Structure 1
Protein backbone atom coordinates (compact mmCIF):
# COMPACT_ATOMS: atom_id res chain seq x y z
CA UNK A 1 0.00 0.00 0.00
CA UNK A 2 1.21 3.51 -0.79
CA UNK A 3 1.75 6.15 1.84
CA UNK A 4 -1.31 8.36 2.56
CA UNK A 5 -1.18 11.91 1.21
CA UNK A 6 -0.14 14.33 4.00
CA UNK A 7 -2.91 16.55 5.37
CA UNK A 8 -1.97 19.96 3.93
CA UNK A 9 -1.06 18.54 0.53
CA UNK A 10 -4.37 16.67 0.41
CA UNK A 11 -6.36 19.76 1.39
CA UNK A 12 -4.56 21.89 -1.19
CA UNK A 13 -5.39 19.31 -3.86
CA UNK A 14 -9.04 19.41 -2.81
CA UNK A 15 -9.22 23.22 -2.74
CA UNK A 16 -7.64 23.52 -6.19
CA UNK A 17 -10.07 20.90 -7.50
CA UNK A 18 -13.07 22.71 -6.02
CA UNK A 19 -11.97 26.02 -7.53
CA UNK A 20 -11.64 24.34 -10.92
CA UNK A 21 -15.11 22.78 -10.66
CA UNK A 22 -16.53 26.15 -9.59
CA UNK A 23 -14.90 27.74 -12.63
CA UNK A 24 -16.69 25.26 -14.90
CA UNK A 25 -20.07 25.74 -13.18
CA UNK A 26 -19.89 29.54 -13.22
CA UNK A 27 -18.55 29.53 -16.77
CA UNK A 28 -21.73 27.74 -17.88
CA UNK A 29 -23.70 30.63 -16.36
CA UNK A 30 -21.69 33.30 -18.17
CA UNK A 31 -19.54 34.22 -15.15
CA UNK A 32 -15.78 34.23 -15.58
CA UNK A 33 -14.30 33.54 -12.14
CA UNK A 34 -10.84 34.48 -13.39
CA UNK A 35 -12.01 38.11 -13.49
CA UNK A 36 -12.81 37.92 -9.77
CA UNK A 37 -10.21 35.49 -8.45
CA UNK A 38 -7.33 35.68 -10.94
CA UNK A 39 -4.51 38.13 -10.17
CA UNK A 40 -4.41 41.25 -12.30
CA UNK A 41 -1.55 43.71 -12.55
CA UNK A 42 -1.85 45.96 -9.43
CA UNK A 43 -2.22 49.04 -11.64
CA UNK A 44 -5.18 47.49 -13.47
CA UNK A 45 -8.76 48.62 -12.78
CA UNK A 46 -9.55 44.92 -12.30
CA UNK A 47 -7.10 44.31 -9.45
CA UNK A 48 -8.40 43.45 -5.97
CA UNK A 49 -6.30 42.67 -2.89
CA UNK A 50 -7.75 39.19 -2.34
CA UNK A 51 -6.40 38.11 -5.71
CA UNK A 52 -2.93 37.75 -4.15
CA UNK A 53 -4.25 34.58 -2.49
CA UNK A 54 -7.06 33.37 -4.72
CA UNK A 55 -5.03 33.32 -7.95
CA UNK A 56 -2.99 30.41 -6.53
CA UNK A 57 -6.07 28.19 -6.67
CA UNK A 58 -7.32 29.21 -10.11
CA UNK A 59 -6.30 27.48 -13.33
CA UNK A 60 -6.93 27.75 -17.04
CA UNK A 61 -10.61 27.10 -17.63
CA UNK A 62 -12.17 23.96 -19.08
CA UNK A 63 -11.62 22.32 -21.57
CA UNK A 64 -7.94 23.11 -20.98
CA UNK A 65 -7.20 20.67 -18.16
CA UNK A 66 -3.46 20.20 -18.75
CA UNK A 67 -2.64 23.24 -16.59
CA UNK A 68 -4.33 21.96 -13.43
CA UNK A 69 -3.35 18.33 -14.07
CA UNK A 70 0.36 19.19 -14.27
CA UNK A 71 0.27 21.39 -11.19
CA UNK A 72 -1.71 18.93 -9.10
CA UNK A 73 0.54 16.04 -10.13
CA UNK A 74 3.57 18.09 -9.08
CA UNK A 75 1.86 19.10 -5.82
CA UNK A 76 1.14 15.46 -5.00
CA UNK A 77 4.58 14.21 -6.10
CA UNK A 78 6.81 16.83 -4.50
CA UNK A 79 4.51 18.34 -1.88
CA UNK A 80 3.97 15.03 -0.10
CA UNK A 81 7.69 14.51 0.42
CA UNK A 82 8.37 18.10 1.45
CA UNK A 83 5.44 18.27 3.89
CA UNK A 84 6.47 14.98 5.50
CA UNK A 85 9.96 16.39 6.06
CA UNK A 86 9.27 19.91 7.31
CA UNK A 87 5.82 19.55 8.88
CA UNK A 88 2.37 20.94 8.16
CA UNK A 89 2.74 24.54 9.34
CA UNK A 90 6.07 25.17 7.62
CA UNK A 91 4.83 23.47 4.48
CA UNK A 92 1.75 25.70 4.27
CA UNK A 93 3.91 28.78 4.82
CA UNK A 94 6.30 27.61 2.09
CA UNK A 95 3.43 27.08 -0.34
CA UNK A 96 1.84 30.48 0.30
CA UNK A 97 5.09 32.44 0.44
CA UNK A 98 6.24 30.89 -2.85
CA UNK A 99 2.90 31.83 -4.41
CA UNK A 100 3.30 35.41 -3.19
CA UNK A 101 6.88 35.45 -4.47
CA UNK A 102 5.65 34.41 -7.90
CA UNK A 103 3.08 37.20 -7.91
CA UNK A 104 5.54 39.90 -6.88
CA UNK A 105 8.36 39.00 -9.27
CA UNK A 106 5.93 38.59 -12.16
CA UNK A 107 4.42 42.01 -11.50
CA UNK A 108 7.78 43.66 -10.92
CA UNK A 109 8.64 42.66 -14.48
CA UNK A 110 5.17 43.82 -15.57
CA UNK A 111 5.74 47.18 -13.87
CA UNK A 112 8.87 47.76 -15.94
CA UNK A 113 7.03 46.81 -19.13
CA UNK A 114 3.93 48.86 -18.30
CA UNK A 115 6.04 51.94 -17.49
CA UNK A 116 7.69 51.71 -20.89
CA UNK A 117 4.37 51.13 -22.64
CA UNK A 118 2.78 54.15 -20.97
CA UNK A 119 5.52 56.42 -22.28
CA UNK A 120 5.10 55.01 -25.79
CA UNK A 121 1.30 55.27 -25.62
CA UNK A 122 1.46 58.94 -24.63
CA UNK A 123 3.96 59.58 -27.42
CA UNK A 124 1.49 57.95 -29.83
CA UNK A 125 -1.21 60.39 -28.73
CA UNK A 126 -3.33 58.09 -26.55
CA UNK A 127 -4.78 58.83 -23.13
CA UNK A 128 -3.67 56.36 -20.45
CA UNK A 129 -6.71 57.17 -18.32
CA UNK A 130 -9.00 56.40 -21.26
CA UNK A 131 -7.37 53.02 -21.83
CA UNK A 132 -7.63 52.37 -18.09
CA UNK A 133 -11.38 53.10 -18.08
CA UNK A 134 -12.01 51.01 -21.19
CA UNK A 135 -10.20 48.09 -19.56
CA UNK A 136 -12.71 47.67 -16.73
CA UNK A 137 -14.07 44.16 -17.17
CA UNK A 138 -17.58 42.93 -16.46
CA UNK A 139 -18.35 39.66 -14.70
CA UNK A 140 -18.19 37.69 -17.95
CA UNK A 141 -14.69 38.98 -18.73
CA UNK A 142 -15.68 41.45 -21.43
CA UNK A 143 -14.22 44.94 -21.71
CA UNK A 144 -14.37 47.85 -24.13
CA UNK A 145 -11.75 48.83 -26.65
CA UNK A 146 -11.54 50.70 -29.95
CA UNK A 147 -10.15 50.17 -33.41
CA UNK A 148 -7.52 52.82 -32.70
CA UNK A 149 -6.27 50.85 -29.71
CA UNK A 150 -6.40 47.53 -31.55
CA UNK A 151 -4.40 48.96 -34.44
CA UNK A 152 -1.67 50.43 -32.23
CA UNK A 153 0.70 47.79 -30.87
CA UNK A 154 1.63 49.84 -27.79
CA UNK A 155 -1.93 50.78 -26.81
CA UNK A 156 -3.13 47.24 -27.43
CA UNK A 157 -0.30 45.80 -25.34
CA UNK A 158 -1.06 48.19 -22.47
CA UNK A 159 -4.72 47.22 -22.48
CA UNK A 160 -3.74 43.54 -22.45
CA UNK A 161 -1.65 44.21 -19.36
CA UNK A 162 -4.76 45.62 -17.68
CA UNK A 163 -7.09 42.80 -18.78
CA UNK A 164 -5.03 39.60 -18.55
CA UNK A 165 -5.17 37.83 -15.18
CA UNK A 166 -2.47 35.51 -13.84
CA UNK A 167 -3.92 32.20 -12.68
CA UNK A 168 -2.44 29.00 -11.35
CA UNK A 169 -0.51 27.40 -8.53
CA UNK A 170 2.70 27.34 -10.56
CA UNK A 171 4.56 29.88 -8.41
CA UNK A 172 3.84 27.81 -5.31
CA UNK A 173 4.64 24.57 -7.17
CA UNK A 174 8.04 25.86 -8.27
CA UNK A 175 8.72 26.76 -4.65
CA UNK A 176 8.06 23.11 -3.77
CA UNK A 177 10.33 21.93 -6.60
CA UNK A 178 13.25 23.95 -5.27
CA UNK A 179 12.51 22.84 -1.72
CA UNK A 180 12.54 19.22 -2.88
CA UNK A 181 15.85 19.70 -4.71
CA UNK A 182 17.45 21.16 -1.57
CA UNK A 183 16.05 18.45 0.70
CA UNK A 184 16.62 15.51 -1.65
CA UNK A 185 19.41 16.54 -4.04
CA UNK A 186 20.23 12.96 -5.06
CA UNK A 187 16.65 11.86 -5.75
CA UNK A 188 16.30 10.86 -9.40
CA UNK A 189 13.63 12.49 -11.53
CA UNK A 190 12.53 11.66 -15.07
CA UNK A 191 10.22 13.07 -17.74
CA UNK A 192 7.77 11.01 -19.79
CA UNK A 193 9.56 11.93 -23.02
CA UNK A 194 12.99 11.51 -21.40
CA UNK A 195 12.65 8.49 -19.08
CA UNK A 196 16.23 8.57 -17.83
CA UNK A 197 16.55 9.41 -14.15
CA UNK A 198 18.43 12.64 -13.40
CA UNK A 199 19.33 13.77 -9.90
CA UNK A 200 17.19 16.61 -8.58
CA UNK A 201 20.26 18.79 -7.93
CA UNK A 202 20.87 18.78 -11.70
CA UNK A 203 17.33 18.45 -13.07
CA UNK A 204 15.73 21.35 -11.16
CA UNK A 205 18.46 23.96 -11.91
CA UNK A 206 18.24 23.12 -15.63
CA UNK A 207 14.47 23.60 -15.42
CA UNK A 208 14.96 26.98 -13.75
CA UNK A 209 17.47 28.09 -16.38
CA UNK A 210 14.95 27.13 -19.06
CA UNK A 211 12.28 29.24 -17.32
CA UNK A 212 14.70 32.18 -17.17
CA UNK A 213 15.54 31.81 -20.85
CA UNK A 214 11.86 31.71 -21.83
CA UNK A 215 11.04 34.67 -19.60
CA UNK A 216 13.86 36.86 -20.89
CA UNK A 217 13.14 36.04 -24.51
CA UNK A 218 9.42 36.65 -23.97
CA UNK A 219 8.08 34.64 -26.90
CA UNK A 220 4.66 35.88 -28.00
CA UNK A 221 3.35 32.33 -28.26
CA UNK A 222 4.51 31.54 -24.76
CA UNK A 223 1.38 32.13 -22.66
CA UNK A 224 3.20 31.18 -19.46
CA UNK A 225 4.10 33.41 -16.51
CA UNK A 226 7.75 32.35 -16.42
CA UNK A 227 8.74 35.04 -13.94
CA UNK A 228 6.01 33.84 -11.58
CA UNK A 229 7.68 30.43 -11.69
CA UNK A 230 11.06 32.01 -10.99
CA UNK A 231 9.71 34.12 -8.12
CA UNK A 232 8.18 31.07 -6.49
CA UNK A 233 11.37 29.07 -7.03
CA UNK A 234 13.49 31.80 -5.41
CA UNK A 235 11.28 31.97 -2.32
CA UNK A 236 11.17 28.18 -2.07
CA UNK A 237 14.95 27.97 -2.23
CA UNK A 238 15.51 30.71 0.37
CA UNK A 239 12.84 29.37 2.71
CA UNK A 240 14.08 25.78 2.78
CA UNK A 241 17.75 26.77 2.98
CA UNK A 242 16.93 28.92 6.01
CA UNK A 243 14.98 26.02 7.56
CA UNK A 244 17.90 23.63 7.06
CA UNK A 245 20.38 26.12 8.48
CA UNK A 246 18.29 26.63 11.62
CA UNK A 247 17.75 22.89 11.90
CA UNK A 248 21.49 22.26 12.00
CA UNK A 249 21.92 25.01 14.61
CA UNK A 250 19.30 23.42 16.86
CA UNK A 251 21.04 20.08 16.54
Structure 2
Protein backbone atom coordinates (compact mmCIF):
# COMPACT_ATOMS: atom_id res chain seq x y z
CA UNK A 1 0.00 0.00 0.00
CA UNK A 2 2.82 2.40 0.83
CA UNK A 3 4.28 1.96 -2.68
CA UNK A 4 1.07 3.37 -4.20
CA UNK A 5 0.91 6.52 -2.10
CA UNK A 6 1.17 9.78 -4.04
CA UNK A 7 2.63 13.18 -3.16
CA UNK A 8 6.15 12.09 -2.20
CA UNK A 9 8.98 14.65 -2.67
CA UNK A 10 10.42 12.60 -5.54
CA UNK A 11 7.08 12.57 -7.36
CA UNK A 12 6.67 16.32 -6.85
CA UNK A 13 10.05 16.98 -8.48
CA UNK A 14 8.97 15.03 -11.57
CA UNK A 15 5.91 17.21 -12.21
CA UNK A 16 6.63 19.49 -15.22
CA UNK A 17 6.17 23.22 -14.89
CA UNK A 18 5.50 25.77 -17.62
CA UNK A 19 8.80 27.15 -18.91
CA UNK A 20 7.32 30.69 -18.92
CA UNK A 21 5.42 30.36 -15.62
CA UNK A 22 7.55 28.20 -13.29
CA UNK A 23 4.81 28.15 -10.62
CA UNK A 24 2.25 26.41 -12.87
CA UNK A 25 2.17 22.64 -13.21
CA UNK A 26 1.24 21.33 -16.64
CA UNK A 27 0.97 18.13 -18.60
CA UNK A 28 1.08 19.85 -22.00
CA UNK A 29 4.23 20.05 -24.11
CA UNK A 30 5.08 21.98 -27.26
CA UNK A 31 4.83 19.66 -30.27
CA UNK A 32 8.04 21.16 -31.70
CA UNK A 33 10.51 21.71 -28.88
CA UNK A 34 8.82 19.59 -26.16
CA UNK A 35 8.94 22.41 -23.63
CA UNK A 36 6.15 22.23 -21.01
CA UNK A 37 3.52 24.94 -21.52
CA UNK A 38 0.48 25.98 -19.46
CA UNK A 39 -2.95 26.72 -21.00
CA UNK A 40 -2.19 30.44 -21.13
CA UNK A 41 0.95 29.88 -23.22
CA UNK A 42 -0.18 27.10 -25.54
CA UNK A 43 -0.96 28.05 -29.13
CA UNK A 44 -3.22 25.98 -31.38
CA UNK A 45 -1.32 24.15 -34.12
CA UNK A 46 -2.40 21.75 -36.83
CA UNK A 47 -1.40 18.97 -34.43
CA UNK A 48 -1.39 19.64 -30.70
CA UNK A 49 -0.06 22.90 -29.30
CA UNK A 50 3.08 24.99 -29.67
CA UNK A 51 4.89 27.40 -27.41
CA UNK A 52 5.02 31.13 -28.33
CA UNK A 53 8.73 30.95 -29.25
CA UNK A 54 8.22 28.16 -31.77
CA UNK A 55 5.20 29.97 -33.21
CA UNK A 56 7.19 33.17 -33.71
CA UNK A 57 9.92 31.14 -35.35
CA UNK A 58 7.75 30.42 -38.40
CA UNK A 59 5.52 27.68 -39.66
CA UNK A 60 8.38 25.27 -40.28
CA UNK A 61 8.26 22.14 -42.37
CA UNK A 62 5.34 19.82 -41.99
CA UNK A 63 3.12 22.38 -40.29
CA UNK A 64 0.15 24.21 -41.77
CA UNK A 65 0.54 27.99 -42.24
CA UNK A 66 -2.15 28.61 -39.62
CA UNK A 67 0.03 26.97 -37.01
CA UNK A 68 2.33 30.01 -37.10
CA UNK A 69 -0.52 32.32 -36.08
CA UNK A 70 -0.52 32.79 -32.30
CA UNK A 71 -3.92 32.34 -30.67
CA UNK A 72 -5.23 33.22 -27.25
CA UNK A 73 -6.93 30.67 -25.03
CA UNK A 74 -10.26 31.83 -26.50
CA UNK A 75 -9.03 31.61 -30.09
CA UNK A 76 -8.29 35.29 -30.65
CA UNK A 77 -5.22 36.47 -32.53
CA UNK A 78 -2.19 37.41 -30.43
CA UNK A 79 -1.22 40.98 -31.33
CA UNK A 80 1.63 43.36 -30.56
CA UNK A 81 -0.50 45.59 -28.31
CA UNK A 82 -2.82 43.23 -26.41
CA UNK A 83 -4.49 46.08 -24.49
CA UNK A 84 -5.38 48.40 -27.36
CA UNK A 85 -9.18 48.05 -27.02
CA UNK A 86 -8.98 48.72 -23.28
CA UNK A 87 -6.99 51.89 -23.95
CA UNK A 88 -9.54 52.99 -26.56
CA UNK A 89 -12.47 52.34 -24.22
CA UNK A 90 -10.81 54.30 -21.42
CA UNK A 91 -10.07 57.10 -23.87
CA UNK A 92 -13.68 57.24 -25.09
CA UNK A 93 -15.04 57.37 -21.54
CA UNK A 94 -12.63 60.16 -20.61
CA UNK A 95 -13.45 62.13 -23.78
CA UNK A 96 -17.20 61.77 -23.13
CA UNK A 97 -16.73 62.90 -19.52
CA UNK A 98 -14.89 66.00 -20.73
CA UNK A 99 -17.80 66.65 -23.09
CA UNK A 100 -20.18 66.36 -20.13
CA UNK A 101 -18.17 68.91 -18.20
CA UNK A 102 -18.00 71.27 -21.17
CA UNK A 103 -21.58 70.97 -22.50
CA UNK A 104 -23.40 70.61 -19.20
CA UNK A 105 -26.46 68.67 -18.11
CA UNK A 106 -28.16 69.02 -21.47
CA UNK A 107 -25.60 66.67 -23.03
CA UNK A 108 -25.88 64.15 -20.20
CA UNK A 109 -29.68 64.22 -20.23
CA UNK A 110 -29.69 63.54 -23.97
CA UNK A 111 -27.64 60.34 -23.70
CA UNK A 112 -28.15 58.87 -20.23
CA UNK A 113 -30.41 55.87 -19.72
CA UNK A 114 -33.95 56.85 -18.89
CA UNK A 115 -37.08 54.85 -19.56
CA UNK A 116 -39.71 57.56 -19.87
CA UNK A 117 -39.52 61.14 -18.67
CA UNK A 118 -42.13 63.85 -19.14
CA UNK A 119 -41.07 67.48 -19.26
CA UNK A 120 -44.15 69.69 -18.58
CA UNK A 121 -42.45 72.96 -19.51
CA UNK A 122 -41.38 71.55 -22.86
CA UNK A 123 -44.48 69.49 -23.36
CA UNK A 124 -42.43 66.49 -24.46
CA UNK A 125 -41.70 62.91 -23.46
CA UNK A 126 -38.27 61.38 -23.87
CA UNK A 127 -36.69 58.02 -23.11
CA UNK A 128 -36.29 54.49 -24.38
CA UNK A 129 -40.07 54.17 -24.66
CA UNK A 130 -40.00 56.91 -27.31
CA UNK A 131 -37.69 54.86 -29.53
CA UNK A 132 -34.44 56.23 -28.09
CA UNK A 133 -32.83 52.80 -27.76
CA UNK A 134 -29.41 54.30 -28.25
CA UNK A 135 -29.55 55.32 -24.58
CA UNK A 136 -28.96 51.68 -23.61
CA UNK A 137 -25.47 52.00 -25.11
CA UNK A 138 -24.56 55.66 -24.75
CA UNK A 139 -25.31 55.59 -21.01
CA UNK A 140 -22.45 53.12 -20.55
CA UNK A 141 -19.93 55.79 -21.60
CA UNK A 142 -21.27 58.54 -19.32
CA UNK A 143 -20.32 59.19 -15.69
CA UNK A 144 -21.80 61.28 -12.92
CA UNK A 145 -18.74 62.51 -11.03
CA UNK A 146 -14.96 62.44 -10.81
CA UNK A 147 -15.07 59.60 -8.26
CA UNK A 148 -17.46 57.65 -10.48
CA UNK A 149 -15.25 57.76 -13.57
CA UNK A 150 -11.98 57.27 -11.69
CA UNK A 151 -13.27 54.15 -9.97
CA UNK A 152 -14.68 52.68 -13.20
CA UNK A 153 -11.63 53.48 -15.31
CA UNK A 154 -9.23 52.00 -12.77
CA UNK A 155 -11.34 48.84 -12.66
CA UNK A 156 -11.50 48.74 -16.45
CA UNK A 157 -7.73 49.06 -16.73
CA UNK A 158 -6.85 46.52 -14.04
CA UNK A 159 -9.42 43.91 -15.05
CA UNK A 160 -9.91 44.67 -18.73
CA UNK A 161 -6.28 44.71 -19.83
CA UNK A 162 -5.40 41.14 -18.81
CA UNK A 163 -8.79 39.88 -19.99
CA UNK A 164 -8.34 41.45 -23.43
CA UNK A 165 -4.94 39.78 -23.66
CA UNK A 166 -6.51 36.42 -22.83
CA UNK A 167 -9.55 36.68 -25.13
CA UNK A 168 -8.33 38.72 -28.07
CA UNK A 169 -9.65 42.06 -29.29
CA UNK A 170 -12.87 41.08 -31.06
CA UNK A 171 -14.12 38.74 -28.34
CA UNK A 172 -13.18 41.17 -25.60
CA UNK A 173 -14.98 44.07 -27.28
CA UNK A 174 -18.08 41.93 -27.84
CA UNK A 175 -18.03 40.90 -24.17
CA UNK A 176 -17.70 44.49 -22.99
CA UNK A 177 -20.46 45.95 -25.16
CA UNK A 178 -22.96 43.13 -24.68
CA UNK A 179 -22.41 43.14 -20.90
CA UNK A 180 -22.99 46.88 -20.82
CA UNK A 181 -26.20 46.51 -22.83
CA UNK A 182 -27.40 43.70 -20.55
CA UNK A 183 -26.86 45.94 -17.51
CA UNK A 184 -28.78 48.77 -19.16
CA UNK A 185 -31.63 46.46 -20.16
CA UNK A 186 -32.08 45.12 -16.63
CA UNK A 187 -32.03 48.67 -15.28
CA UNK A 188 -34.69 49.67 -17.81
CA UNK A 189 -36.86 46.72 -16.78
CA UNK A 190 -36.61 47.11 -12.99
CA UNK A 191 -35.86 50.75 -12.19
CA UNK A 192 -38.45 53.52 -12.17
CA UNK A 193 -38.98 54.78 -15.74
CA UNK A 194 -38.08 58.38 -14.85
CA UNK A 195 -34.90 57.36 -12.97
CA UNK A 196 -31.76 58.33 -14.84
CA UNK A 197 -28.84 55.92 -14.96
CA UNK A 198 -25.33 56.17 -16.38
CA UNK A 199 -21.90 54.63 -16.04
CA UNK A 200 -19.63 51.88 -17.34
CA UNK A 201 -20.24 49.75 -14.25
CA UNK A 202 -22.45 47.20 -16.05
CA UNK A 203 -19.75 46.52 -18.63
CA UNK A 204 -17.04 46.45 -15.95
CA UNK A 205 -19.01 43.95 -13.88
CA UNK A 206 -19.26 41.85 -17.05
CA UNK A 207 -15.46 41.85 -17.17
CA UNK A 208 -15.38 40.78 -13.51
CA UNK A 209 -17.65 37.83 -14.27
CA UNK A 210 -15.68 36.74 -17.33
CA UNK A 211 -12.38 37.07 -15.43
CA UNK A 212 -13.68 34.77 -12.70
CA UNK A 213 -14.63 32.17 -15.34
CA UNK A 214 -11.23 32.48 -17.01
CA UNK A 215 -9.33 32.10 -13.73
CA UNK A 216 -11.37 29.02 -12.94
CA UNK A 217 -10.58 27.63 -16.40
CA UNK A 218 -6.84 28.16 -15.85
CA UNK A 219 -6.96 26.76 -12.31
CA UNK A 220 -5.74 30.04 -10.81
CA UNK A 221 -6.32 31.04 -7.21
CA UNK A 222 -9.90 32.32 -7.17
CA UNK A 223 -9.70 34.12 -3.84
CA UNK A 224 -8.49 37.53 -5.16
CA UNK A 225 -11.24 37.89 -7.79
CA UNK A 226 -13.91 36.58 -5.41
CA UNK A 227 -12.83 39.06 -2.74
CA UNK A 228 -12.91 41.88 -5.29
CA UNK A 229 -16.37 40.87 -6.44
CA UNK A 230 -17.69 40.67 -2.89
CA UNK A 231 -16.32 44.13 -2.08
CA UNK A 232 -17.91 45.59 -5.20
CA UNK A 233 -21.25 43.91 -4.50
CA UNK A 234 -21.22 45.21 -0.92
CA UNK A 235 -20.65 48.72 -2.29
CA UNK A 236 -23.37 48.14 -4.90
CA UNK A 237 -26.07 47.24 -2.40
CA UNK A 238 -24.81 49.21 0.60
CA UNK A 239 -24.20 52.58 -1.01
CA UNK A 240 -27.08 54.81 -2.03
CA UNK A 241 -27.68 56.20 -5.51
CA UNK A 242 -26.17 53.19 -7.32
CA UNK A 243 -28.01 51.40 -10.12
CA UNK A 244 -27.50 47.88 -8.79
CA UNK A 245 -29.55 46.51 -11.68
CA UNK A 246 -26.80 47.46 -14.14
CA UNK A 247 -24.17 45.74 -11.99
CA UNK A 248 -26.16 42.53 -11.68
CA UNK A 249 -27.17 42.47 -15.35
CA UNK A 250 -23.60 43.04 -16.50
CA UNK A 251 -22.23 40.43 -14.09
CA UNK A 252 -24.66 37.73 -15.22
CA UNK A 253 -23.97 38.47 -18.88
CA UNK A 254 -20.22 38.44 -18.25
CA UNK A 255 -20.34 35.03 -16.59
CA UNK A 256 -22.44 33.56 -19.42
CA UNK A 257 -20.30 35.04 -22.19
CA UNK A 258 -17.05 34.32 -20.37
CA UNK A 259 -17.99 30.66 -20.08
CA UNK A 260 -18.81 30.54 -23.78
CA UNK A 261 -15.53 32.27 -24.66
CA UNK A 262 -13.16 29.97 -22.78
CA UNK A 263 -15.04 26.66 -22.86
CA UNK A 264 -16.21 26.63 -26.48
CA UNK A 265 -15.05 23.49 -28.35
CA UNK A 266 -12.22 24.33 -30.72
CA UNK A 267 -13.96 23.01 -33.84
CA UNK A 268 -17.02 25.24 -33.26
CA UNK A 269 -15.38 27.98 -31.26
CA UNK A 270 -16.52 31.08 -33.16
CA UNK A 271 -20.06 29.75 -33.57
CA UNK A 272 -20.46 29.11 -29.84
CA UNK A 273 -18.80 32.35 -28.75
CA UNK A 274 -20.62 34.75 -31.02
CA UNK A 275 -23.78 32.68 -30.82
CA UNK A 276 -23.78 33.29 -27.06
CA UNK A 277 -23.36 37.02 -27.69
CA UNK A 278 -26.33 36.90 -30.09
CA UNK A 279 -28.49 35.11 -27.52
CA UNK A 280 -27.73 37.66 -24.81
CA UNK A 281 -28.44 40.47 -27.26
CA UNK A 282 -31.73 38.79 -28.13
CA UNK A 283 -32.58 38.73 -24.42
CA UNK A 284 -31.73 42.45 -24.22
CA UNK A 285 -34.05 43.21 -27.14
CA UNK A 286 -36.84 41.08 -25.70
CA UNK A 287 -36.63 42.71 -22.27
CA UNK A 288 -36.62 46.15 -23.84
CA UNK A 289 -39.65 45.40 -26.01
CA UNK A 290 -41.65 43.95 -23.12
CA UNK A 291 -40.83 46.86 -20.81
CA UNK A 292 -41.66 49.39 -23.53
CA UNK A 293 -45.02 47.72 -24.13
CA UNK A 294 -45.71 47.89 -20.39
CA UNK A 295 -44.93 51.61 -20.15
CA UNK A 296 -46.77 52.77 -23.27
TM range (shorter): 0.5 to 0.7
* Aligned pairs for 1:26-41 within 5 A: 26-27=103-104, 31-41=105-115
Question: How far, CA to CA, are the matches of 1:98 and 1:87 in structure 2?
Answer: 16
Match of 1:231 in 2: 249
Question: How far, CA to CA, are the matches of 1:108 and 1:87 in structure 2?
Answer: 32
Deviation of 1:34 (Å): 1.5
Q: Structure 1, unaligned stretches of length 5 or more?
A: 115-160, 189-197
Question: How far, CA to CA, are the matches of 2:155 and 2:162 in structure 1?
Answer: 11
Deviations 1:45-77 (A, max 9, x none): 3212211111010000xxx30100000001110
Match of 2:141 in 1: 57
Question: How far, CA to CA, are the matches of 1:78 and 1:187 in structure 2?
Answer: 15
Q: Structure 2, unaligned stretches of length 5 or more?
A: 1-79, 119-124, 270-296
Name which of 31, 56, 68 aligns with 2:149. 68
Name which of 179, 186, 189 aligns with 2:210. 179
Q: Does structure 1 conserve the Cα–Cα contact (< 8 Å) formed by 2:201 and 2:247?
A: yes
Give the structure with the higher percent helix.
1
Q: Does structure 2 conserve the Cα–Cα contact (< 8 Å) formed by 1:34 and 1:165?
A: no
Question: How far, CA to CA, are the matches of 1:6 and 1:40 in structure 2?
Answer: 32
Once structures 1 and 2 are overlaid, which stretch shifts more, 3-12 or 47-56? Answer: 3-12
Match of 1:242 in 2: 260
Choose between structure 1 and 2 for higher RCO, CA contacts under 8 A separated by at least 6 residues.
1
Question: How far, CA to CA, are the matches of 2:116 and 2:265 in structure 1?
Answer: 37
Deviation of 1:206 (Å): 2.6
Question: How far, CA to CA, are the matches of 2:246 and 2:260 in structure 1?
Answer: 21
Q: Does 1:6 align with 2:83?
A: yes
Q: Does structure 2 conserve the Cα–Cα contact (< 8 Å) formed by 1:211 and 1:229?
A: no
Question: How far, CA to CA, are the matches of 2:126 and 2:138 in structure 1?
Answer: 14
Deviation of 1:230 (Å): 0.4
* TM-score w.r.t. length of structure 1: 0.63
Q: Does structure 2 conserve the Cα–Cα contact (< 8 Å) formed by 1:5 and 1:76?
A: no
Match of 1:120 in 2: none
Aligned length: 177
* TM-score w.r.t. length of structure 2: 0.54
Deviations 1:209-244 (A, max 9, x none): 5368x2xxxx7x710001110000000000010112
Question: How far, CA to CA, are the matches of 2:109 and 2:208 in structure 1?
Answer: 28
Match of 2:55 in 1: none
Question: How far, CA to CA, are the matches of 2:260 and 2:153 in structure 1?
Answer: 26
Question: How far, CA to CA, are the matches of 1:187 and 1:77 in structure 2?
Answer: 17
Question: How far, CA to CA, are the matches of 1:250 and 1:77 in structure 2?
Answer: 30
Deviations 1:21-64 (A, max 9, x none): 0011112xxx522211101025763212211111010000xxx3
Match of 1:206 in 2: 230
